[in-house]
Chain A
Amino acid sequence: MSADPSNNPAVTTASPLRRGLVRALGLALVWVGLNGLDAASWRIGAPVVLLAAWVSMRLLPAGSWRWSARGAAVFAAYFLRESLRGGWDVAWRALSPGLGLSPALVSHPWRLPPGPWRLFFCSTISLLPGTAVVAIGDRHVCVHVLDNSPAAAEELRKLEGHVAALFGLELMNEKEAVA
């Protein structure tokens, strides 16, 4: 999976240095969260934050995406709600005498453009009700569903919409995605 930044409206062109500083600032906030405002802790914290920022820039180079704050808030609420529903759904199936299962492997055509958000989508699929990714392709993602119904496919489409909103992306239409 390679992202082509040139034809994607979501891509910003901030310099790597600025990106790195923003990430270092974020990591510094995490350090404060972990250790409180203890000045002495920075003797270890400062090098760790810089090292972590450097590693993060190496692993995930800058300039490939941006967040939408509103999308993130909507997504967080959606994720929390679906997490509970997912737990409840699987608990109900596990406890019902006849096991309410009719599992299947389904193929979901990508509507998200190529990029890191696809992996994010796959990670969240596995935590939401009745779906788990087993293979990621260029055009489709292969999903194991506990209940093979049109509702499951609709859930995947809904999640894809939420991920698109989170990253400020346009979804491709299906014909274009599959062709």
Chain B
Amino acid sequence: MSALDVLTALLLAAALFFFVAGTIGLLRFPDLYSRLHALTKADNAGLGLTVLALMLQAGSWPEVFKLGLIWLLVLAASSTVCFLIGHEAYRRGVKPWTRRRS
């Protein structure tokens, strides 16, 4: 295994951590709004690291470029969908969960 392969494996392991943590957040967080955070943030970081890892293994520059473009497009989609879901919930009067103050 070359140094590049080791780096790829480390990046993928970090990406996996973010995806798993995001999924756990999706299950554990108390309301719709917080769950949106779990999905968008963790996936942003997880996919970014995955893309970076795959870039190291890419055979040509167009491949590197394509991977980068995929990340940006997914970011744009993820952020837009996050807003659409959050906004619709807000419009319908869904109250955010709040920690009870003692």
Contact = CB atoms under 8 A, between A and B. Distances in A.
- A, B co-complexed: yes
Interface of A: 30, 32-36, 80, 83-84, 86-95, 99, 101-105, 122-124, 126-130, 132-135, 142, 144, 146
Given A101-B29, A127-B78, A144-B86, A87 B62 contact: no
A94 B28 contact: yes
Given A33-B62, A94-B22, A94-B28, A86 B44 contact: yes
A88 B65 contact: no
Contacts of B99: 101-103
B40 A132 contact: yes
A133 B22 CA distance: 19
Contacts of B89: 134
A90 B80 contact: no
Contacts of A89: 41
B102 to A, nearest CB: 12
Nearest to B17: A91
A99 B97 CA distance: 13
User: Which 9 pairs from chain A and chain B are nearest by CB?
Assistant: A87-B45, A94-B25, A91-B21, A33-B65, A134-B90, A134-B86, A86-B41, A90-B41, A144-B33
B37 A134 contact: no
B93 to A, nearest CB: 12
B75 interface: yes
B40 A126 contact: yes
Contacts of B66: 33-34
A95 B33 contact: no
Contacts of B97: 101, 103
10 contacts: A35-B62, A87-B41, A91-B42, A94-B29, A103-B31, A105-B90, A127-B44, A127-B79, A135-B90, A146-B34
B82 A126 contact: yes
In terms of DSSP, what is the predominant structure of the interface of chain B? Answer: helix
B10 interface: no
Nearest to A129: B41
Interface string B66-83: 100100000110111011
Given A91-B17, A132-B82, A99 B29 contact: yes
Nearest to A33: B65
Interface in B11-36: 17-18, 21-22, 24-25, 28-31, 33-34, 36
Contact of B25 (A93, A105, A123): A93
B44 A34 contact: no
Given A86-B41, A86-B45, A134-B33, A34 B25 contact: no
